[in-house]
Amino acid sequence: MVEFNPFELEQVAAAYDRWYETPLGAFVEARELAALEQLLLPLPPQSVVVEVGAGTGRVSAWLARKGYSVIAVEPSAAMRRYGVERTSGLSVEWLAAHASLLPFPDGAHECVLLFATLEFVAEPQRALREALRVLRSGGFLIVALLHAHSPWAALYCWLGRRGEVPWSTARFYTPEELEEMVGLPAQARASAVFCAPTAAEPFEEADAAGRRAGNPPAMVILRWSKP
């Protein structure tokens, strides 16, 4: 993962959680998780999901409430503190590790999820190889990507040019670039959030208008099954 100092990450963790408590943040999260749920359908209940780059645990907590057992991998101590608190009492185990060096043997798990993680990984292809390495045959790799052509990525790139953490080191990809890095076409995909980050309520109407206008989605989620 890209390295930030602990004070910066403490600020990022707090701001990240606060944004999801706003009306727009809650709308975006609901749409993104609904898209993720579509791609989890082939995964049997009570399966183990390894979430790489679990951040403050929002997705891990949601997965656990859906009945999955979660291994949350997150290198940042600041992020993990939020995540451990959020997932207290849920079936979530937290590990301090990097996407490029996962602490699991080959073929150990049935699902690896990177949810808006690859953008902050210094070596994305190495992270994807690691994810595929620890998957068993028939297991699922699921990657949620902030679409490089979306208005959201445009905003984050602008913030990055201003030096704002974590966007100052973020890199954005298209689904086609991700498929090229994996080396295989995705077997399934889902998209979420077609409104712009400046959208006003009602967000449902703004989202529908964005889709009709041809906006690229803020997030695209792709799934592969390991041969």
Q: Looking at the 3D structure of the chain, how many domains does it have?
A: 1
Fill in the amino acid letter for 186: A
Q: What is the DSSP-derived secondary structure letter of residue 213?
A: T
69, 46 in Cβ contact below 8 A? yes
Q: Which residues of 26-60 are buried (b: 16+ CB within 10 A; e: fewer)?
A: ebbbebbbebbeebbeebeeebbbbbbbbbbbbbb
Q: Is the pLDDT of residue 69 over 60?
A: yes
Give the range of the structural domain holding residue 136, as residue numbers without chain letter.
6-225
96 within some domain: yes
Report pLDDT digits (tens) over 34-60: 999 999 999 998 999 999 999 999 999
**Distance (Å, rounded) from C-alpha 74 to C-alpha 91?**
16
Read off the pLDDT of each residue in 3-14 and give the average, rounded to a whole number. 62
**Distance (Å, rounded) from C-alpha 205 to C-alpha 211?**
10
18 within some domain: yes
Q: Mean pLDDT over all residues of the chain?
A: 94
Q: Looking at residue 73, what is its pLDDT? A: 98
**Distance (Å, rounded) from C-alpha 197 to C-alpha 161?**
18
The structure tokens listed for 211 are: 């889709």
Q: Looking at residue 224, what is its pLDDT? A: 98
1 within some domain: no
183 within some domain: yes
**Distance (Å, rounded) from C-alpha 79 to C-alpha 31?**
23
Read off the pLDDT of each residue in 60-68 and give the average, rounded to a whole number. 98
Report pLDDT digits (tens) over 118-143: 999 999 999 999 999 999 999 999 99
Q: Looking at residue 4, what is its pLDDT? A: 47
Report pLDDT digits (tens) over 161-172: 999 888 999 999
**Distance (Å, rounded) from C-alpha 172 to C-alpha 153?**
7
Band the pLDDT of 2: cuts 50, 70, 90: very low
**Distance (Å, rounded) from C-alpha 114 to C-alpha 126?**
13
Pick from 92, 16, 13: which is nearest to 50 by CA? Answer: 92
Pick from 177, 125, 123, 168: which is nearest to 146 by CA? Answer: 177
Report pLDDT digits (tens) over 175-208: 999 999 999 999 999 999 999 999 999 999 999 9
Read off the pLDDT of each residue in 3-18 and give the average, rounded to a whole number. 68
Band the pLDDT of 8: cuts 50, 70, 90: low
Q: Looking at residue 11, what is its pLDDT? A: 77
Q: Looking at residue 180, what is its pLDDT? A: 97
CATH of the domain at 214: 3.40.50.150
89-93, 149-153, 163-167, 183-187, range with the lowest pLDDT? 163-167
Strand boundaries in 8-105, DSSP class E = 48-52, 69-73, 92-95
Taking the CA atoms of residue 138, residue 143, residue 149 and residue 155 in that order, the dihedral angle to the nearest 10 degrees is 180
